[in-house]
């Protein structure tokens, strides 16, 4: 009997499969703070006790001098590293300016440095975000794009999700003609553990509106991000 041979080439998705693709991000995810004021949370003492448990798990003597204050320091560091959970992205973009003299090209802020934490291993990934949008009559302060990046970065993340959140927030709140976001980062979860490939970079992008629909605008955005002055 002849063996059946299956093609390894993926088949073209059907209309039904296309319709079942995940929806866009829920606006509630990026229009408000991630933690509600009334949301139950462990007490600080409980958090410090959890850190002490982890220290004991790796084989440390939690009573030695160098570690006596470590649980407190770790919880304080968490308060700083994850402050994005308590910040509202919509508030960052709520003030715009209309004196643009009819400006109708895109605005690009590149090389926005950030550090975030991988949600899979809780290890840092860091790099640069490049953000462009084409305003309709009104623009937002340039520093607000950097602050928006920091809010989302200071939460447990994947780089893909971070990219999508930044683009979705700008698109939903500013209602521009288009948004382009490109993020390049190094992930310590693969550079200092696992495969240990130091220096490997990951690139993710998200386009909406005119950037999604017009390849020439995408190309111009990427050309400016990779400009000769870098």
What DSSP element (H or E) covers 17? helix 15-19
Q: Which of 76, 113, 119, 137 is labelled catalytic?
A: 119
The average pLDDT across 156-175 equals: 95
The CA-atom distances, in angstroms, between 10 and each of 6, 7, 13, 58 are 10, 8, 9, 45
- The lowest-confidence range among 49-58, 192-201, 216-225 is 192-201
Q: Which of 121, 161, 184, 186 is labelled catalytic?
A: 121
Residue 118 annotated as catalytic: yes
* Domains annotated on the chain, with CATH: 44-81 (1.10.286.10), 89-225 (3.30.1130.10)
Percentage of the chain beyond pLDDT 70 is 87
Task: Give the model's pLDDT for residue 10.
Answer: 44
Residue 159 annotated as catalytic: yes
Token pair of 9, please?
């080439």
- Report the predicted TM-score, pTM, of the whole model to 2 decimal places: 0.84
Residue 39 predicted with pLDDT over 70: yes
pLDDT tens-digit readout, 124-154: 999 999 999 999 989 999 999 999 999 999 9
Q: Which of 76, 120, 137, 160 is labelled catalytic?
A: 120
Task: Give the model's pLDDT for residue 7.
Answer: 41
Q: Which of 130, 187, 217, 218 is labelled catalytic?
A: 187
Q: Which of 159, 165, 217, 218 is labelled catalytic?
A: 159
In whole angstroms, what is the distance from residue 94 CA to residue 140 CA? 8
Residue 161 annotated as catalytic: no
Token pair of 136, please?
């309709």
Burial zone of 92 (CB within 10 Å; 0-12 exposed, 13-18 middle, 19+ buried): buried
Task: Give the model's pLDDT for residue 228.
Answer: 53
In whole angstroms, what is the distance from residue 165 CA to residue 92 CA? 14
Residue 86 annotated as catalytic: no
The residue among 142 and 29 whose pLDDT is bigger is 142
Average of per-residue pLDDT values in the chain: 87
Residue 88 annotated as catalytic: no
Q: Which of 117, 118, 165, 217 is labelled catalytic?
A: 118
* Full DSSP string of 140-190: E-HHHHHHHHHHHHTSEE-HHHHHHHHHHHHHHHH--SEEEEEEEEEEHHH
Task: Give the model's pLDDT for residue 230.
Answer: 53
């Amino acid at each position: 009997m002849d063996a059946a041979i299956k093609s390894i080439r993926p088949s073209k998705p059907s209309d039904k499969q296309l319709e079942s693709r995940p929806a866009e991000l829920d606006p509630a995810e990026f229009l408000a703070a991630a933690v509600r004021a009334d949301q139950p949370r462990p007490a600080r003492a409980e958090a410090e006790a959890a850190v002490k448990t982890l220290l004991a798990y790796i084989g440390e003597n939690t009573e030695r001098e160098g570690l006596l204050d470590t649980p407190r320091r770790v919880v304080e560091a968490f308060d700083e590293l994850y402050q994005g959970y308590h910040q509202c992205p919509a508030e960052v973009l709520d003030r715009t300016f209309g004196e643009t003299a009819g400006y109708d090209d895109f605005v690009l802020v590149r090389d926005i440095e950030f550090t975030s934490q991988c949600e899979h291993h809780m290890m840092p990934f860091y790099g640069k975000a490049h953000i462009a949008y084409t305003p309709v009559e009104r623009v937002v302060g340039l520093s607000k794009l950097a602050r928006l990046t920091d809010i989302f970065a200071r939460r447990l993340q994947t780089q893909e999700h971070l990219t999508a959140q930044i683009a979705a927030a700008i698109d939903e709140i500013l209602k521009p003609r288009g948004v382009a976001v490109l993020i390049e980062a190094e992930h310590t979860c693969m550079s200092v553990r696992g495969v240990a490939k130091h220096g490997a970079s990951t690139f993710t992008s998200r386009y909406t509106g005119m950037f999604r629909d017009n390849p020439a605008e995408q190309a111009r955005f990427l050309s400016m991000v990779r400009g000769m002055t870098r």
